Amino acid sequence: MAHRRKSIGIQRIAAYATIAAALVVTLFPVYWIAANSFKYDIDIFSIPPQWIPANPTSKHYHAAFVERPFLIYALNSLIIAVSTTLVSVVFGSLAGYALARFQYPGRWRYQISFWILSTRMMPPIVTIIPLYIAFNHLGMLNTKPAVIIAYTAFNLPFATWMMKSYFQDLPVELEEAAMVDGDTRWGAFLHVALPLARPGLAATAIFCLIISWNEFLLALILTLTERSQTLPIGIAGRVTQYNTYWGEISAAGFTACIPIMIFAFVVQKHLVRGISFGAVKG
Amino acid sequence: MTVSIGAKFGNSFERWFERHLRVLMLAPAMLVLLTLTIFPSIYMIVAAATRISPNPDLPWQFAGADNFLRLLTDEQFHVGLWNTLVFTVFAVGTEFLLGLGLALLLDRYIRRLNFLKTILMLPMMLPPVAVAITWKLIYEPQFGVLNEIMFRLGLPLQAWAGDVRLAMFSVIVADVWQWTPFMFLLMLAGLASLPDEPYEAAAIDGASAWRQFWDLTLPFLKPIIAIALLLRIMDTLRLFDLVFILTGGGPADRTKTLSLYIYQVAYRFADPSYAAAISLFVLFTTVAFSTWFIKRMRLAD
């Protein structure tokens, strides 16, 4: 018995040690980009590395957001992310509810759901060339609506599946009761189902915001002008063939991470369902 | 029936609206997705079967299967395909094993996981651009942290992402850092939903922990494992951001993925027809694989 307790103790210590290691490995890179964003160039390049900024400075934040157009990039990112999220969540809730609640002949419910998911299987690089050409013909390159439309195509399948999964979890009796009381189906959706699905709506919206805020490839191809580019593109633009502006990209990169860290904290409860398209209950 | 205004027109519209509600609610999403997938698909097929002149005034010439035949002899395409496969197998494999191991360990020994989950999920939410430059900073041969650690340990310094032998390894490590939490969280959700009874029965039968894992845990987790692998593989097959910034596909094309190659063909070599042919290849491979995988794992039911 004593032996048994001892071996469990060792296993428990090993478990805690593994967790500690996982936490350090997870957090160090995030800390490192933050630390470097507050160092003078000479300290960034110091050998051995300066683990804690000795002379903290906001110089790189000033360089990025005042001298260079990173404020415009951040605004563009914000406008594009919010618009995409609005469209995706509204259309996604409608389609998600229809797929969760209505009757369909044969295997149509499955067919439609699967088709919606399959549009997400298309690698973005595949669809982006035709979209580029179409937007070029329409004179929409370097505009925010072009990016918003392209992002909606990638967020909508995700929003639909997530909302479908949340609606399926609601007890159908409440909507039925509202309809017995004289409400229409649309009314039952609007006044009963939608308010009950509020946590799901919030989680879906935050996931759409994160995906759009982070997206890189589509924005890279659809926008070439300073006025239309997003934060990720602006950051990548400071990694040039001849020079990498470490301080600036660290400052802008860390700034890009901050809203995401806040969102991650808020959406934590819904995380598993979100990242698995609603396939796994969180 | 309705409690709303009883005007005749309003009423008949309302009834029409209510009768077609299913279609009307599906329509916006379906129309957006149809437009944004059907048009690109048709364009890709037409473009891949033609030779598009760089001069927009010249008509497209029919090229038949020429663009697809080029795939057979194009060494850069083969390199891209090989890199994409190597990356997918090693990155997703490592993430799965690490994620499952961590989940098994934590599920058993730690009760209140919420705070830990919040921290561990950070990497996969961060902008890929930020992740790429962070790792670029860590891998930096002169002043990077990794070489400092190598130096302290008395190991030879490396060029990491700039080294022909280590570039792919470096990209995989960065991806593993970002996406192991994804596997971990999905496995943890799976473990939390396991029923107790079979384990109690197995304990009475005196089954070893290993047998319990192999005969009970793994089969129960299978659907979640399948979903997690599928979602990750779909992502790694299209890898772009990380290599674009971390290595640019180099050195010596060692980290050039198919997505990166398509990007180069379309925009640097200005050859949209051939880019379309490669894209169609990627699309068909992805869809064929996903469909096979979903059928195989019986995910559809």
**Percent of chain B at pLDDT exceeding 90:** 34
Same domain, B131 and B180: yes
SS3 label, residue B120: helix
**B1, B237, B276: residue with CB nearest A123:** B237
Same domain, B133 and B229: yes
Which residue stretches of chain B have pLDDT < 70?
1-10, 53-59, 111, 113, 298-301
Instruction: State whether B119 and A23 contact (CB < 8 Å).
Output: yes
Instruction: State whether B33 and A213 contact (CB < 8 Å).
Output: no
CB A44 within 8 A of CB A247: yes
Chains A–B, number of C-beta pairs less than 8 Å apart: 271
Considering the domain boundaries, does residue B46 fall inside one? no
Same domain, B35 and B127: no
Instruction: State whether B17 and A213 contact (CB < 8 Å).
Output: no
Single out the residue of B266, B268, B263, B217 nearest to residue B104, CA to CA. B217
Chain B residue with the nearest C-alpha to that of A33: B134
Instruction: State whether B120 and A246 contact (CB < 8 Å).
Output: no
Task: Return all residues near A78 (Cβ < 8 A) that are at least 6 apart.
Answer: none
Task: Return all residues near B225 (Cβ < 8 A) that are at least 6 apart.
Answer: B96, B100, B187, B190
Same domain, B34 and B159: no
From CA A54, how far away is CA A34, in angstroms rounded? 14
Considering the domain boundaries, does residue B55 fall inside one? no
Chain B residue with the nearest C-alpha to that of A89: B29
Locus of tokens 């999920």: B121
Tell whether B88 is within 8 A of chain A (Cβ): no
CA B22 to chain centre: 32
Same domain, B274 and B159: yes
Residues of A in contact with B145 (CB under 8 A): 32, 49
Cα angle B166, B167, B168 (rounded to 5 degrees) comes to 95
Name beta bridge partners: A244.
A239
pLDDT tens digits in sequence order for chain A, 282 residues long = 444 455 667 878 888 888 889 889 999 999 999 999 999 988 888 888 888 998 899 999 999 999 999 999 999 999 999 999 999 999 999 999 999 999 898 888 888 988 888 887 777 887 888 888 889 989 999 999 999 999 998 899 999 999 999 999 899 999 999 999 988 899 999 999 999 999 899 989 998 999 999 999 999 999 989 889 999 999 998 888 788 889 999 999 999 999 988 887 887 778 778 877 777 775
Instruction: State whether A119 and B37 contact (CB < 8 Å).
Output: yes
Residues of A in contact with B131 (CB under 8 A): 29
Considering the domain boundaries, does residue B48 fall inside one? no
From CA B169, how far away is CA B167, in angstroms rounded? 5
Residues of A in contact with B1 (CB under 8 A): 182, 184
Q: Is B98 exposed, middle or buried (0-12, 13-18, 19+ CB in 10 A)?
A: middle
Same domain, B31 and B118: no
Same domain, B26 and B125: no
From CA B4, how far away is CA B181, in angstroms rounded? 51
Instruction: State whether A125 and B2 contact (CB < 8 Å).
Output: no
Name beta bridge partners: B62.
B50
DSSP string, B15-35: HHHHHTHHHHHHHHHHHHHHH
Instruction: State whether B280 and A126 contact (CB < 8 Å).
Output: yes
CA B188 to chain centre: 20
Other Cβ atoms less than 10 A from the Cβ of A66: the count is: 10
CB A263 within 8 A of CB A210: yes
From CA B166, how far away is CA B160, in angstroms rounded? 5
Per-domain residue ranges of chain A = 2-44, 59-275
Q: Provide the pLDDT for residue A6.
A: 53
CB B67 within 8 A of CB B49: yes
CB B293 within 8 A of CB B230: yes
Same domain, B93 and B157: yes
CA distance B191 to chain A (A): 11
Tell whether B288 is within 8 A of chain A (Cβ): no
**A12, A160, A277: residue with CB nearest B29:** A160
CA distance B66 to chain A (A): 19
**B109, B138, B272: residue with CB nearest A29:** B138
CA distance A174 to chain B (A): 18
Tell whether B111 is within 8 A of chain A (Cβ): no
The boundaries of the domain holding residue B4 are 1-39
Locus of tokens 């080294």: B163
Instruction: State whether A12 and B109 contact (CB < 8 Å).
Output: yes
Considering the domain boundaries, does residue B91 fall inside one? yes
Q: Provide the pLDDT for residue A135.
A: 92
Q: Is A220 exposed, middle or buried (0-12, 13-18, 19+ CB in 10 A)?
A: buried
Task: Give the CATH number, domain containing residue B200.
Answer: 1.10.3720.10
CB A215 within 8 A of CB A4: no
Considering the domain boundaries, does residue B56 fall inside one? no
How many folded domains does chain B comprise?
Answer: 2
Instruction: State whether A268 and B189 contact (CB < 8 Å).
Output: no
Chain A residue with the nearest C-alpha to that of B268: A221
**A18, A126, A279: residue with CB nearest B283:** A126
Same domain, B127 and B13: no
Same domain, B176 and B286: yes
CA distance A63 to chain B (A): 18
SS3 label, residue B50: strand
Same domain, B251 and B209: yes
ipTM rounded to 2 decimals: 0.85
Same domain, B24 and B139: no
CATH level 2 (architecture), domain A59-275: Orthogonal Bundle (1.10)
Q: Provide the pLDDT for residue A282.
A: 59
Q: Provide the pLDDT for residue B3.
A: 47
Instruction: State whether A123 and B193 contact (CB < 8 Å).
Output: no
Instruction: State whether A95 and B30 contact (CB < 8 Å).
Output: yes
The answer for B 64-83 residues in CB contact with A (under 8 A) is: none
